[in-house]
Amino acid sequence: MFQNLYMTKKLGRNELCWCGSGIKYKRCHIDREHQPLVNPYEIEKEQKKFFTKKYCIFPDKSKCDGQIVRAHTIQRNGSLDKIAYDGHVYQLKPSLTDLFKTNGEAAPKSVGIRNATTFTGFCNFHDSEIFKPLERVSFLGNDEQCFLLAFRAVARELYTKRAAIQSIPLWRESDRGKDILSQQIIQEICSAYKKGTERGLATLESHFNEYVEKFIAKDFREIRFLIILLKNVPEIMFSGGFYPEFNFKAELLQDLSDLTKKSDLLTHSSFASDEGGAIVYSWLSSSDNTCRNFVESLLELNANDLPNAVVRLSFEQSENVAISPLWWDSMESAKQEAIINRFTYAGHPLVGRSPECLASDGLNYVNWNIQDIKVKMI
Ligand SMILES: [Zn+2]
Ligand SMILES: [Zn+2]
């Protein structure tokens, strides 16, 4: 892996640097070990700028009104109010600073509902116009609403992934003042991360474009969904998109390492409705192969495990989860730990996902009262 080790010693000043930056050695890694160490908190502060960048993600900018808003990813602004305590929810979204305090494990953090689960990726016009049928009308679970839930989840994933790619060069700078082997390890990790993220980004851009095309054509027929309607408000609310790898029966659905294939994308959303709450899984027919099987395996679970499976999946696959502080604080510590472990190590780049990642862990996290289940798979 570190075959460059020898090279660094005899690289000419004007040769391209071993790290792959495309810059001459004399302007890149030469004498880097003698430079002052970089403060990781500084990097984190810089990195945050990419994740709070203000721009409208909608490709056709002709109608953008220029003002970028904090776009909510959880349906209807009132949703988070219902699980907030003193205007705050918990999120397992650790910053580097937090991770140092907790030895690398994620810990719930109190976040004001204005800042929780929002992103600055839509202008005022597009945010309000596109999502009107979600925000201004009760949730009926029609094609358009399920489409828009998916569209918003994919838009946010894309926004986040773009920011992740843009912040890699920052991490490449974090090897200043370190010995040459450490420099090489850091650069190798950054390269591997970049390769994986770039591939993920290309796939996501292509999914997003598909949603945009269908949105512009107002063609919502290709949307597929599973809606779980609850009589109660769900204690966790989330919005996200992911590539299902294993189903609830631990069967492999798609090989995410196959670079020649565009992975199938599933989205999931949870929010409060007029009657209680709803969990929605939605996807486009082009992702049928994987998503149908995945959702069917969820439906095959017994009624007692179904709500817990939803909880397991949400922490396994999304970092955009708002948690009711009252629910979390009253939960037994074994359950809290199970969730934190799941969140911290899910799909870890060095470990990967276990086929059994969604199988029952025997823990009862929630007592939801399911009112109805609606499915549209063709
Ligand atoms: Zn270099
Ligand atoms: Zn716009």
Q: Per-residue pLDDT tens for 278-312?
A: 999 999 999 999 999 999 999 999 999 999 999 99
Q: 200 lies in a domain? A: no
CA of 5 to the centre of ligand 1 (A): 13
For residue 208, which phi and psi values (nearest 5 degrees)?
-60, -45
Q: 208 lies in a domain? A: no
- Ligand of minimum distance to the alpha carbon of 125: 2
- Sequence-ordered alpha helix ranges (H) in the chain: 5-10, 40-51, 78-81, 96-101, 124-130, 132-135, 143-166, 168-172, 180-216, 288-299, 305-317, 325-329, 333-345
CA of 144 to the centre of ligand 2 (A): 20
Q: 254 lies in a domain? A: yes
Q: For residue 292, what pLDDT is reported?
A: 98
CA of 23 to the centre of ligand 2 (A): 36
Q: 294 lies in a domain? A: yes
Q: Which two tokens stand for residue 180?
A: 């040459």
Q: How far from chain centre, in Å, is Cα 273?
A: 23
CA distance 44 to 8: 28
Own/partner long-range contacts of 20-23 (Cβ < 8 Å, ≥24 apart) = 20/187, 20/191, 21/172
Q: 36 lies in a domain? A: no
Q: What is the mean pLDDT of residues 225-236?
A: 97
- Helix, coil or strand: residue 114: coil
Q: What is the DSSP string of 43-91?
A: HHHHHHHHHT------S-GGG--S-EEEEE-SSSTHHHHTT-BTTEEEE
Q: For residue 245, what pLDDT is reported?
A: 94
CA distance 163 to 159: 6
Helices and strands in the chain, H and E counts: 13, 10
Q: 267 lies in a domain? A: yes
Residue 206 pLDDT > 70, yes or no? yes
Q: What is the mean pLDDT of residues 359-377?
A: 96
CA of 50 to the centre of ligand 1 (A): 22
- Ligand of minimum distance to the alpha carbon of 121: 2
* Lowest pLDDT segment from 62-66, 106-110, 124-128, 300-304: 106-110
In the beta sheet, which residues pair with residue 242? 266
Contact call for residues 171 and 186 (beta carbons, < 8 A): yes
Ion ligand 2: residues, Cβ under 5 Å:
56, 58, 64, 123, 126
Q: Give the rounded percent of residues in the chain with a pLDDT score beyond 70.
A: 93
Q: For residue 6, what pLDDT is reported?
A: 47
Residue 3 pLDDT > 70, yes or no? no
Q: 149 lies in a domain? A: no
Domain count within the chain: 2
CA distance 242 to 240: 7
Q: What is the mean pLDDT of residues 318-345?
A: 93
249 dihedral zone (left: phi>0; alpha: psi -120 to 50; beta): alpha
**Mean per-residue pLDDT over the chain, rounded:** 90
pTM of the model: 0.91
Q: Domain residues for 242?
A: 223-376
CA of 267 to the centre of ligand 2 (A): 22
Q: What is the mean pLDDT of residues 271-279?
A: 93
Q: 181 lies in a domain? A: no
CA distance 254 to 52: 32
CA of 112 to the centre of ligand 1 (A): 41
Q: For residue 290, what pLDDT is reported?
A: 97
